[in-house]
Amino acid sequence: MTSTHPVPASTPLPLPETGGEWSNFTPKGESRRRREGRWPLLLLFGTPIFLLTVTATLVGIDPPFYHSRCAEHHPEECRQLSNQFLQTASRLINDLQNAPAWSTEFREDQINGWLADDFEQNHALKVLPTGVTSPRVQISGDHFRLAFRCQRGPIRTVIQIGARAWVPKRNLLAIELETAQAGLLPLPTTYTRTVIEQFILDRGLDITWKRSGSSLVALVDFARAERQIILRKVEVKDGHLAVEGLSGRLAIPNTDYAPTAN
């Protein structure tokens, strides 16, 4: 016997384009392709951002020795050390003008005390290039390091230059460049060379460069200053800077002197 109840019609499933819960459905293969397609974009934009972040971090780190040299003395101690430096420099100037020979020695803490006190107050703005502040030195063995804060636009860092110095012959100062960094990031030799060259030329002296193995050596010629001084010796050793020479006014014979370091 045939049933008289009507058979309900099938309800069609909604297709993706008609909306409903299927509208958010993405086949697994298509999702994987989209994820894989994002990697080139992440590499394209993410790598430069990562490198810039790392570079900015390295550039922004102060060398430990510089931080300690800036913070190790109270202002009153700096003033006392600065006065000691100035007294020694005053005796040297007097000897240059009146004595046949001259020599003097500065301690590292006296130099840094003077840089933090008298130099900062009375000379820094006239002597230092724009954007350069707070120079400090470290003397270790026969090596020295000069460091200073440097700001160029939004970039603020500490530049440090490591070197050795000696007098290979009369009135010729040799400065061998060993390291140069901005924070912890190595600097190209051309930058260091430009900084030193500009400073020397501004003092009215001549400078030439030569290679010694992998190192670059600046040769600073004091011949123009020969009427005032004859430089015989520059020694950097164990926290001290020593200089020695003769008065150029006394017409002392033109004699070469052996190097004080090599």
Q: Which of 85, 133, 143 is nearest to 112 (CA)?
A: 85
Average pLDDT over residues 165-192: 86
Predicted confidence at residue 9, as pLDDT, reads: 53
Indicate the helix (H) or strand (E) that contains 38: helix 28-59
Q: Answer yes or no: is pLDDT of 6 > 60.
A: no
**φ and ψ of 154, to 5 deg:** -80, -10
Tell me the C-alpha distance between 154 and 147, whole Å: 19
* pLDDT tens sequence across 90-131: 999 999 888 899 999 999 999 999 999 999 999 998 888 888
User: Quick check: 248 and 108 in contact, CB under 8 A?
Assistant: no
Give 33: exposed, middle or buried? Use CB within 10 Å, 0-12, 13-18, 19+: exposed
Best-predicted range by mean pLDDT among 24-28, 70-74, 222-226, 239-243? 239-243
CA dihedral 229, 173, 242, 70 (to 10 degrees): 120
Best-predicted range by mean pLDDT among 49-58, 178-187, 239-248? 239-248
Q: Answer yes or no: is pLDDT of 20 > 80.
A: no
Average pLDDT over residues 25-36: 53
Which residue in this structure is represented by tokens 């230092």?
128
Under DSSP, is residue 221 helix (H, G, I), strand (E, B) or coil? strand
Q: What is the mean pLDDT of the chain?
A: 77
Q: Answer yes or no: is pLDDT of 149 > 90.
A: no
User: Quick check: 78 and 113 in contact, CB under 8 A?
Assistant: yes
* pLDDT tens sequence across 74-85: 889 999 999 999
Predicted confidence at residue 250, as pLDDT, reads: 55
Which tokens hold the place of 245? 């020479």
Which residue in this structure is represented by tokens 């460049």?
177
> Which residues, other chains included, contact 134 with Cβ-Cβ below 8 Å and sequence gap of 6+?
70, 115, 116, 120, 148, 149
pTM reported for the whole predicted model: 0.71
